[in-house]
Amino acid sequence: MDFEFTPEQEALGKEFEEYAVELMKDAPAGWGTSLEFQYSEVGWEFTRKTQKKLAEKGWLVRPWPKEYGGADAPIVEQLIYNQVMAYHRVPSADAFGIGMIGPTLLAAGSEEQKKEHLPPIARAERYWCQGWSEPNAGSDLASLVTRGVRVEDEYVVNGQKTWTTNGHNADWCFMLVRTNPEEKRSRGLTYLLVDMKTPGVTVRPLLGMNGEHFFNEVYFDDVHVPVKNRVGEENQGWAITRATMNFERSGIGGMSGAKRAIEDLVAECKTVKWDNKTLADSQFVRHRLAQLLIEIEAGTALAFRVAWSQEKGDFLQSAHLASASKVFGTELNQRIANVACQIFGLYGQVAKSRWAVMDGRWQGDYQFVPGTNIYAGSSEIQRNIISTAGLGMPRTW
């Protein structure tokens, strides 16, 4: 084993880091004070701008093949990139374009689809959202009912998608529709790519409990989608979603951001004084923060393992570890928000104002984090994967 990066990788990390610091000089006020700020009007403008600059550096899709704007870079380099960018709170890359549909098209798209969609993603010119969940199909995704009816060389789509992260900013949507209503569950689903500007697509905000705009509902009313925008064969869309899932979860960014959060909390606790001593002198505070750091180190080590497995192409063999990384990471962020709100006592509840501690960041996180235990496969779904794929338990649901 060897946990060290090569001198070349170290140098690359340093280059990422220097540019990240440079980019963050332009961050708007309030950046980093809530997780969904990125999708607000101000936050999104900053996101687009920084993503564009990173694209100009050629850094957005480094693991992709050169012909589609990538650098054929190993996943370990992407690990370093994600770690650095998350630590410096650089706006995260388009999880749906770069993280999901890009790899999916690389694995299962037609040559025409690759040429049409991959370069704009690599150039940070086209953003994506995900049309999977519906009001009655979330964890049980295969029960979805949004219809796609083939009419000559088009599909006519009718139905509703929901929990559509960043749908209000996205240019395109990848979605699942039911093309064969006779077939139950995962059989009879087709994978489509839809331009969000197509007539009949309506996006409505679905505000989080703290009032911020992150999720949307997307309505499809006689939306015409050309057959050339179908990925894979008709009624074979489920297999394509399985390919997409392989690219979503190493978890390093979450861990890196969490580490930064602890460092910020430590710095704050060294300055806040109660009863003539700093919070950092209180054993209660010290131990709670230390415990969180312990957990972050544990999660980081697992994320490295997942990335290493993916580097070797062991996506299936490490599926349960990717699930473990996801569920551990989001639940850890929930514990961090909880501890952070508690250590400042009554001030833990105060939102952005002159009374707020750390710009009210933690009470905002406290409201946001429950959603992270649900999106991208709920904690319960992840545990199902771990117990069946990882431990060989029988599937009984």
276 makes contact with another protein (CB under 8 A)? no
Stretch of residues binding another protein (CB under 8 A), selected from 35-43, 140-148, 154-162, 284-292: 284-292
Which of 135, 291, 317, 370 lies at the binding interface for another protein (CB under 8 A)?
Answer: 291
In contact, 48 and 56? CB cutoff 8 Å: no
Q: Is 148 helix (H, G, I), strand (E, B) or coil?
A: strand
Per DSSP, helices labelled H in 57-101 are 75-87
394 makes contact with another protein (CB under 8 A)? yes
Which of 189, 321, 369, 376 lies at the binding interface for another protein (CB under 8 A)?
Answer: 321
239 makes contact with another protein (CB under 8 A)? no
Which of 55, 289, 337, 358 lies at the binding interface for another protein (CB under 8 A)?
Answer: 289
335 makes contact with another protein (CB under 8 A)? no
Q: Which long-range contacts (CB under 8 A, 24 or more apart) does 342-350 make?
A: 342/288, 343/265, 343/269, 343/279, 343/284, 343/285, 343/288, 343/289, 344/272, 344/279, 345/274
234 makes contact with another protein (CB under 8 A)? no
Least Å distance, CB 40 to another protein, is 32
- In this complex, which beta carbon is closest to another protein, that of residue 222 or of residue 380? 380
Both tokens of 283, joined, read: 């054993």
Least Å distance, CB 103 to another protein, is 21
Which of 107, 239, 301, 316 lies at the binding interface for another protein (CB under 8 A)?
Answer: 301
Residues 74-93: x/- map of binding to another protein (CB under 8 A)?
A: --x-----------------
- In this complex, which beta carbon is closest to another protein, that of residue 209 or of residue 290? 290
Instruction: Give the total residue count for the chain.
Output: 397
Q: Using the Cα atoms of residue 176, residue 182, residue 186 and residue 187 in order, give the sign of their dihedral.
A: negative
- Residue 273: phi and psi, rounded to 5, are -115, 130
Q: Please tell me the count of residues contacting another protein according to CB under 8 A.
A: 53
Which of 50, 295, 348, 358 lies at the binding interface for another protein (CB under 8 A)?
Answer: 295
Binding site for another protein (CB under 8 A): 1-6, 9, 76, 262-263, 266, 269-270, 280-281, 283, 285-287, 289-291, 293-295, 297-302, 304-305, 308, 320-321, 324, 327-328, 380, 382-384, 386-388, 390-394, 396-397
